[in-house]
Amino acid sequence: MYELLSRIQSPADLKSLTREQISQVSDELRQAIVDNLSKTGGHFASDLGAADLILALHTVYNVPTDKIIWDTGHQCYAHKMLTGRLNRFSTLRQYGGISGFLRREESEYDLFGAGHAGTSISAAYGFAVARDMAGRTDQEHVLAVIGDASMTAGLALEGLHNAGHSNRNFVVVLNDNDMSIAESVGALSTYLAKLRVSPIYQSVEAQTKDLLKRVPGKPGQLVSRAASSVLKHNLTHLVSTQNSGILFEQLGYQYIGPVDGHDINLLIDLFSAIKHISGPVFVHLLTVKGKGYEKAEEDARKWHAVTPPMFADSTAAKASSQTYTSVFSKSLLDLAANDNSIAAITAAMPDGTGLTAFSKVYPDRYFDTAIAEQHAVCFAAGLAAEGMKPVTAIYSTFLQRAYDIVLHDVALQNLPVIFCLDRSGLVGDDGPTHHGVFDIAYLRHIPNVDMLAPKDGPELEAMIRYSLQEHVTGPNAGPIVIRYPRGSVPTVNWPVNSTPIEFGKAETITNGSDVAILAYGSMVAPAYEATVTLQSEGIDVNLINLRWAKPLDRDAILGAARRTGRLIIIEEGVVHGGVGSAILELLAEAGVTGVKVKLFGVPDHFVEHGAIPILHNLCMLTPIEFAAAARDLMGRAQPDIEPLAVVQQHESLTA
């Protein structure tokens, strides 16, 4: 199917191809991305847009001897295809298959793992310093490839600043597609936009092409040192004299660009010449997100990621079932209609966090900080200090980057910031960089921080209402966290009507004296399924929906422990430092002994990517495992269960 691409087992195979053949490989790369993602799903528009620059880099440089460090990683499908993984693309983002991001253990060509934005420049600079200290300066080239959205991350700017005046041979390649997952925002985005639309752009590119034609030697071959020094002067001076890349030049870089990031011949010539430039270089490439697929080019935001079959469900074409994100979105809109002090903040994820609708209805109270979680949280602290009610919606795994700000600037000052953590728990195909399983552990120990998690959609709505209408103005005012998972809310016929949200109070779903099951958030529904099974076997279960990880409901928990003597504690977060740990601490503090306890949660290792039912099975977070634990505590025999029943049973719950 792919005449040339199928023959490429490593980037070395590109070196013998003609320019015409390289262009054919470019076309085949895009076709392979479309063909494979129509079956597996995955990040789409960004990978199409980056294919040409990836191909040019691998044609010119010799990875892994040369070091190319990619940012984020979701744009690197072409890189994976050119490094021997084309035949494994049918397993992309599936359990046991190749990752949708970069992983050092997956390939020698993945030199640095990536999943969160903004890391490439700092990491690549580390590679450059290590190279120089080992005396390999003339033997290895080091490049960081970063997108314009990732450039808004504070870490990226820190790395850019530190490496700029180092005088080391170091290249930063900016893949500028004028697009992040949503619209790019901020001053840097505005600055880059001015470069894109500058009237000198066309003349710059024309002069660059003309200059390269005059360089001695055959196209694509290394130019002589003498010629490269002329090239160095002219390329960098070409733009800088017209005040285009002055920001990057002031940071210590020789700026080249903007240049068409889809002109393969130009890119190959350009990177071949850059190999001979000394010192830090900043290459500004303009690309089109979704290049080669018309629908993705027209709406890159919608086609950021796709879902099979044949892209029936792209990023903007969500399933019709109600999700936790959609419940959050509607709840916040309803509350904001009657409260002008409510503001919403996101760090470059308005669609993923459900704030797109809010941004349109209340644009003056909506703030997208770009990929800058630390700033987002500190900004929210400032709003709260002045009497606003800031709702900071950030993925659980991304809030990790703002930990110090949560502790030092929010909690220490006891400011009533509402944190809504989407994607808490296992997220599936995106894997260990995106599993939101650490938030309970990294937030629970911070003084003044209160933590909630809903069992279903109505309870999430009630928790948001409670946080904004009662908590932030009540005697317990301070930072509050609501965590909820990715995906659809469960539809469960609970045996009791839901009780109102009260500070530090759990909800009793079933009363029983044989065994107590204490479940938190997303685990309440499967815990109830296990309860129904156990009750049918004559085991009397006290099922408690904890609601609060902090403060815990002392009366409910200690009462259940003393009454049953058997506790099963379930959470979709790491066991170490999680809710189970908190309850064990409570039992010890209260002097309650002789209680049999079984903890369920995410084990002490990074969980792979894969479908949620598979991951829940691997982590033993299934109704069958919960029921089996109760029988063990009761000394009851276990029934025979088919091996696949665990996955099938959980799928029936979440379907």
Active site residue 106: no
Same domain, 25 and 88: yes
Same domain, 467 and 575: no
Catalytic residue among 30, 67, 80, 289: 289
Q: How far apart are CA 264 and CA 267, in angstroms?
A: 5
pLDDT top residue among 117 and 188: 117
Is 499 within a domain? no
Q: What is the pLDDT of residues 41-84, one digit of tens each?
A: 888 888 899 999 999 999 999 999 999 999 987 889 999 999 99
Is 316 within a domain? no
Same domain, 64 and 174: yes
Residue 100: which domain range?
Answer: 5-10+18-294
Which strands, in side-by-side order, build the sheet including 566-574? 507-510, 541-545, 515-519, 566-574, 596-602
Residue 45's pLDDT is what? 87
Active site residue 105: no
CATH assignment at residue 193: 3.40.50.970
Active site residue 136: no
Give the residues across from 421 on adjacent strands.
Answer: 394, 483
Query: Model-level pTM greater than 0.75?
Result: yes
What's phi and psi for 489, nearest 5 deg? -80, 145
Is 519 within a domain? yes
Catalytic residue among 93, 401, 423, 566: 401
| Count of domains for the chain | 3
What does DSSP say about strands 515-519 and 450-452: parallel, antiparallel, or unpaired? unpaired
Same domain, 443 and 397: yes
Q: Report percent pLDDT > 90 for the chain.
A: 73
Q: What is the pLDDT of residues 258-299, one digit of tens each?
A: 889 999 999 999 999 999 999 999 999 999 988 888 788 788
CATH assignment at residue 545: 3.40.50.920
Query: Predicted confidence band at 236 (pLDDT cuts at 50, 70, 90)?
Result: very low
Catalytic residue among 373, 459, 507, 571: 373
Q: What is the separation of C-alpha 178 from the centre of its chain, rounded to a whole number of angstroms?
A: 20
Q: Which residues of 545-563 are buried (b: 16+ CB within 10 A; e: fewer)?
A: bbbbbbebbeebbbebbee
Query: Predicted confidence band at 300 (pLDDT cuts at 50, 70, 90)?
Result: confident
Name which of 321, 385, 333 is nearest 358 in CA terms: 333
Is 250 within a domain? yes
Residue 226's pLDDT is what? 29
